[in-house]
Structure 1
Amino acid sequence: MERLRIHNGDIMLDCRAAGAESGELVILLHGFPECWTAWRQQIQPLADAGYRVVVPDMRGYGCSSRPGHHKRYRLDELITDIDAIRRYCGQSHFHLGGHDWGAAVAWWYALHHPQRLASLTIVNVPHPLTFLETLRSSPLQLLKSWYIFFFQLPVIPEWLIKRGNYALLRLTLKKTSNKGAFADEDLRYLLHSWQQPGSVRAMVNYYRALLRNIVRPAQPQITVPTRILWGERDIALSSSMASNSLQYLHNGELISYPDGSHWLTHDLPAEVSARLLEHISRHPVATESAADVL
């Protein structure tokens, strides 16, 4: 596996990559509180199928740059990191996948740059408008989303997360995923990522930026072919939001897993790889010219 350092202005993205550079580009985005290893078990199957796979540590995570102010984690800024990766790889059209916060960023990119995407794959995060509407109408989902509001507090969330050598994060991953989903290797790597200076503040700043800059999509319809993979044992997100997201998709489908948790790429790695590969192979990247890359 290759290691790439891709720059977007003052932001450096530490990325893992595999597969032939001539292959169609697949960018996969992780969420909170993970890093590139969220997609570790999907990278090689896609590369073996001929795709060029790039998986960044999102800004604020791992060895990527960690800007201090919450404004640097607004969705409009985060999607510029995706374009930086695309340009670095010299491809104008690509496949995009995301889980958790990575899925939120992927949705936002698809809303603003659909012409760049051949396909979109989402794991366990609803369409942004569905999420906003459900928060307003469902007391249960509001209760499940308590942590978003807790993270708005200064200092206290960072202190609690770091306490006991990041015990809260380690316990959360183990208790909310299927048994054995997170290997010891995964947890060791994540611990190293969390220990980077400023990492915890950066992770929490995603949530601070979200509530300080709530924006309804001007045009909520997604025209990109989209597949949603959803683990129904997600304790933080109601499964009804997955099916409700379909109303905003021109060409969308939902595959649900009753025995899957929020951490589906770890719970069912082979299944996620197969469904991801199946989806992107049905929607090949259009022929492009050098001018399209800009």
Structure 2
Amino acid sequence: MAGMSDGLSVAGRRVSGVMDYLSIPTAAGTFDAIAAGPADGRPVLLLHGFPEAAISWEYQVAVLGDRGFRAVAPDQRGYSPGVRPEQAAEYGVDELVGDVLAIAEALEWSRFDLVGHDWGGAVAWWTASEHPERLRTLTAVSTPHPGALSHALRTDEDQQMRSQYMRDWRSSSTERQMLANNAEALRRMFEWKVPPSRVDEYVRRLSEPGALTAALNWYRANRPRATIEKVSVPTLYVWSTEDVALGSTAALETENWVTGPYSFQMLEDVSHWIPEEVPEVLTALLLEHLSAF
């Protein structure tokens, strides 16, 4: 544990409790993480997306810890300086799912609840599909089941247009474009829905040498050839109507990819940045889901 602080303020919301700062050693390298709650609390792992970091979950981690859970949110592969391989091929789904299991092993968690947003949601879906025995529950935020998204990309023109950015960002010029003019393009992604101080922190981190390339390598890595299976673990899927990247076709199709208990929550007039735009709403849904299983 690198340090701790008593309480925190997230977007003007004061949360009680102690936040821990962890270094989690694995074979791939050392992951930085934030954590809260008793060491013997029910374990919850929270995975962030692009272009964020573990602190996107700061509010949820603090509240979960205050409720007696042991909540841990790592800076994922490429975002943790200690796990920043140079080759794009080292950011494939197999490696990302492997990181989830390696972090759980390092924390001595045999079974845990998994939560993911954006890219973290995709990794969470893959983990639930391939290793259901390790998960107590799954919560996916914004990101539909990859099978549902794949179907939408084949059949829905709207989703095809929304996902064009994923192809564009594979260009070698993307880093320069995103960081130009004080990272104007990077800042604009957050649609003024994330506190400016938090956006400043994301920009600071991604401006470090190699950091943005590592984050973009998630898009440049070769995608897995295997077809993802349906998910059997109890699943909560939270999607918002103003998500610019992920449309309703894949969101509504996701229920067909879950065989276990399933809850779909649609948030009206909320953007893609659910964990930080409406942290209380998401946390209440998460706690309700966790308490049911």
Residue 265 of structure 1: CA displacement?
A: 0.9
| 2:239 maps to 1:230 | yes
Is residue 63–residue 196 contact of structure 1 (8 Å, CA) maintained in 2? no
Q: Which residue among 270, 277, 280 is the counterpart of 1:270? A: 280
Residue 185 of structure 1: CA displacement?
A: 2.3
Q: Which residue among 174, 185, 196 is the counterpart of 1:157? A: 174
Is residue 62–residue 194 contact of structure 1 (8 Å, CA) maintained in 2? no
| 2:178 maps to 1:169 | no
**Unaligned residue ranges in structure 2 (runs of 5+):** 1-18
Residue 186 of structure 1: CA displacement?
A: 0.7
Q: Partners in 2 of 1:59 and 1:134 — Cα distance?
A: 28
Amino acid at match of 1:207: Y
Q: Which residue among 266, 269, 280 is the counterpart of 1:256? A: 266
- Superposed, 1:1-294 pairs within 5 Å as 1-153=19-171, 155-175=172-192, 181-209=193-221, 212-218=222-228, 220-250=229-259, 251-283=261-293
Q: Which has the higher contact order (CA 8 A, sep 6+)?
A: 1
Q: Partners in 2 of 1:217 and 1:50 — Cα distance?
A: 37
Is residue 98–residue 122 contact of structure 1 (8 Å, CA) maintained in 2? yes
Q: Partners in 2 of 1:10 and 1:42 — Cα distance?
A: 27
Q: Partners in 2 of 1:253 and 1:243 — Cα distance?
A: 12
- 1:109-164 residue CA offsets vs partner (Å, 9 max, x unmatched): 001100010000000011011111111111221111111111222x2111111211
Structure 1 segments of 4+ aligned residues over 3 angstroms from their partners: none
Partner secondary structure for residue 174 of structure 1 = coil
Q: Partners in 2 of 1:21 and 1:38 — Cα distance?
A: 22
Higher strand share: 2
Amino acid at match of 1:167: E
Higher helix share: 1
Amino acid at match of 2:199: L
Residue 165 of structure 1: CA displacement?
A: 2.1
Amino acid at match of 2:40: S
**Unaligned residue ranges in structure 1 (runs of 5+):** 176-180, 284-294
Q: Partners in 2 of 1:71 and 1:255 — Cα distance?
A: 34
Q: Partners in 1 of 2:223 and 2:194 — Cα distance?
A: 33
Partner secondary structure for residue 191 of structure 2 = helix
Aligned length: 274
Q: Percent identity?
A: 35
Q: Partners in 2 of 1:63 and 1:52 — Cα distance?
A: 24
Amino acid at match of 2:176: W
Q: Partners in 2 of 1:172 and 1:238 — Cα distance?
A: 17
Query: What's the TM-score, normalizing by structure 2?
Result: 0.90
Residue 59 of structure 1: CA displacement?
A: 0.9
Q: Is the alpha carbon distance of 1:173 and 1:102 closer, same or farther for their aligned partners in structure 2, counting shifts above 3 Å?
A: same
Q: Is the alpha carbon distance of 1:61 and 1:116 closer, same or farther for their aligned partners in structure 2, counting shifts above 3 Å?
A: same
Partner secondary structure for residue 68 of structure 1 = coil
Partner secondary structure for residue 190 of structure 2 = helix
Residue 216 of structure 1: CA displacement?
A: 4.2
Q: Partners in 1 of 2:208 and 2:43 — Cα distance?
A: 29
Residue 233 of structure 1: CA displacement?
A: 0.4
